[in-house]
A and B are shown apart, each in its own frame.
Chain A
Amino acid sequence: MAEAGGVSVRKAFTTGLWTENPSLRLLLGMCPTLAVTTAVRPALTMGCSVIFVLVCSNIAVSLMRNLLKPHLRILMFTLTIAAFVTIADLFLKAYLPEMSETLGPYIPLIIVNCIIICRSEACASQNGLVVSIVDALGMGLGFTATLCVLGSIRELLSSGKWAGFEVAPKAFTPWAGMAMPVGAFVTLGLMLGLVNLITKKKA
């Protein structure tokens, strides 16, 4: 593929945001999607870390795409990603220690987040720098948006708060189940159903 003009750059961006939204349409990166969305703040932190790692690794992979040997490809991808995840992890430990504590092992688990490897393989190893960066931004933002929506729903229903602020009236009874694994699975399942419904209507 050639270096992109304006149209295909925009297309690369919107693909990630909606038509191929990683969590809602491609079902990639399910573990963090389910695990960190008990509230909005950890979801947002997770999303930002993933955007950082995704952009950096796409840049690196795109730059070295002509040097890669096919059978060592995946290993090179994961090593690149591991290096950037280490940076993100150390940054969070230094500047947002509480958040780092909450997210725990899910930050290092970004290394095996399928979204990043999938984008390295499907986009960055075949495309130039510009397309790779835009694609990473689109995918990352799509992922973050999904995480935040899921986090908002679960936090509102499980505690009546949004990002730590009280919003629900006093009479509201918190749904304990929403904070537990079952809340994550069922809410995401219903969200996927809703997205299917919307896309069917459009088509």
Chain B
Amino acid sequence: MDTMTVLLMALLSMIIVNNMVFTKFLGTCPYLGVSGRLDMAFGMGCAVTFVTGLSGTLTWLIDHLVLQRYGLQVMQYVAFIVVIAGAVQLVEMYVRKFFPALYSSFGIFLPLISTNCVVLGICLFINLWEVGTLAEAVVLSVGAGLGFTLAICIMAGIRENLALADVPVCLKGAPITLITAGLLTLAFMGFAGMI
């Protein structure tokens, strides 16, 4: 297989087959917390995709060019966190400047992207899978972000309708969301083995 095919496969696998939310449980907090409205979920997904893309790429570079060369792997986690916090700060400034309405509706959730497990998760997984080339690292991290966007948008759509459903009192809110999420993972398991 040539490089393009490999990259395309990697992208698809990150979005559908190895979706971070459904198979690795990463990013479940915003997934349960924010995804009440479809437009906000989509905005959140885009912001997260940008941050994962940027920080996945940067941490791969730092890991390969600096940490591994000088035997500083112990500093890995600290370095990753600094990169992620920087990337989030960048997104925050950008959104505040160009989309003030979106910025005010996000509130606290925007800075909290830096503690979104998807972002650190993909940096760690890229490291764990020993991804060899920069192109692959970029594709994988963007794919993880897109997968998160897909998951959070599906969930937001379901929850908009769930608000109209007659749910048993003690299951209202988070419990029914979790059970719905469980059924969604079953649907996504159908994709397993596709790639």
The interface of chain A, by Cβ under 8 A from chain B, is 27-31, 34-35, 74-75, 78-79, 82-83, 85-86, 89-90, 104-105, 108-109, 111-112, 114, 117, 180-186, 188-190, 192-194, 196-197, 200
Contacts and interface: CB of A to CB of B under 8 A. Distances in A.
B90 interface: no
Contact of A189 (B26, B77, B178): B178
Centre residue among B32, B33, B178, B179 by max chain A CB count within 10 A? B178
Centre residue among B23, B29, B114, B183 by max chain A CB count within 10 A? B29
21 contacts: A27-B29, A30-B29, A30-B32, A75-B82, A75-B85, A78-B115, A79-B82, A82-B78, A86-B77, A109-B26, A111-B77, A111-B81, A112-B116, A112-B117, A112-B119, A117-B115, A181-B23, A181-B189, A185-B179, A193-B175, A200-B170
A108 B170 contact: no
B29 A185 contact: no
A83 B82 CA distance: 12
Contacts of B168: 193
A35 to B, nearest CB: 4
Ordered nearest first, which 9 A-B pairs have the shortest CB separation? A185-B182, A189-B178, A189-B179, A186-B182, A30-B28, A192-B175, A105-B124, A35-B25, A193-B175
Contacts of B120: 108-109, 111-112
Contacts of A185: 178-179, 181-182, 185
B38 to A, nearest CB: 21
A197 B124 contact: no
Centre residue among A29, A109, A197 by max chain B CB count within 10 A? A109
Given A27-B29, A35-B24, A111-B81, A190 B179 contact: yes
B182 A78 contact: no
Given A109-B117, A186-B182, A193-B171, 4 more contacts: A30-B29, A31-B25, A75-B82, A189-B175
Contacts of B186: 182
B74 A90 contact: yes
Contacts, number: 122
Interface in B75-129: 76-78, 81-82, 85, 111, 114-117, 119-121, 124-125, 128
B145 interface: no
Nearest to A188: B178
Given A27-B29, A117-B115, A108 B77 contact: yes
B166 to A, nearest CB: 15
B77 A82 contact: yes
Contacts of A197: 170
Given A82-B77, A181-B23, A109 B170 contact: no
Contacts of A186: 178-179, 182-183
Contacts of B111: 74
A117 B114 CA distance: 11
A181 B81 contact: no
Contacts of A29: 29
Centre residue among A85, A185, A197 by max chain B CB count within 10 A? A185
A2 to B, nearest CB: 28
B124 A108 contact: yes
A31 B82 CA distance: 21
B27 A105 contact: no
B61 interface: no
Contacts of B22: 181
B94 to A, nearest CB: 17
B8 interface: no
